């Protein structure tokens, strides 16, 4: 159902991935101009796919195993996004030694934590349903 705790976690993960990526900069260039995810199509597509996948997962509450698998895929997608940030972080400002990183680089980490908590709640629900089915 939509009012479960995993739905709240997934909604927060969708809000973090979809909303905060446009508000918080992930770095600064050599001139000190803030860099946002909407200026780079790779980052924008990864953030949008992560947000859409989180929203889609909310409405698959009748199929908990598929919900769990989509949560894992979303976690993997956020790890890829985090890897892109780690790969780009030394060269954001154009210099290898000095680069300003923004708070937006923490968005995938926050999203991963929320998705892991949602997957735990989904697994807990699945175990509860299995235990009730054994009693019948």
Contacts of 124 (CB under 8 A, 6+ apart): none
Domain count, the chain: 1
| 90, 96 Cβ separation under 8 angstroms | yes
Residue 27, pLDDT score: 78
Q: Flag whether pLDDT at 134 surpasses 70.
A: yes
Kindly report, residue by residue over 88-116, the tens digit of the pLDDT.
776 655 554 445 677 788 899 999 999 99
The reported pTM is: 0.86
* Domain encompassing residue 81: 5-130
Q: Is the dihedral of CA 96, 97, 99, 103 positive or negative?
A: positive
> Is 58 among the domain residues?
yes
Kindly report, residue by residue over 36-95, the tens digit of the pLDDT.
888 888 888 999 999 999 999 999 888 989 999 999 999 999 999 999 888 877 665 555
- Using alpha carbons, select from 113, 32, 128 the residue that is nearest to residue 79: 113
């Amino acid at each position: 159902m939509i009012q479960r705790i995993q739905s709240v976690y997934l909604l927060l993960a969708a809000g973090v991935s979809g909303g905060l990526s446009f508000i918080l900069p992930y770095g600064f260039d050599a001139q000190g101009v803030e860099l946002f995810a909407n200026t780079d199509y790779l980052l924008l597509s990864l953030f949008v796919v992560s947000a859409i996948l989180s929203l889609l997962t909310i409405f698959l509450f009748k199929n908990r195993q598929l919900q769990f698998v989509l949560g894992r895929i979303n976690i993997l997608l956020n790890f890829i996004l985090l890897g892109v940030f780690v790969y780009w972080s030394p060269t954001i400002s154009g210099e290898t030694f000095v680069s300003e990183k923004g708070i937006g680089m923490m968005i995938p980490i926050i999203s991963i934590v929320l998705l892991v908590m949602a997957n735990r709640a989904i697994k807990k629900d699945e175990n509860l349903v299995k235990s009730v089915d054994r009693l019948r």
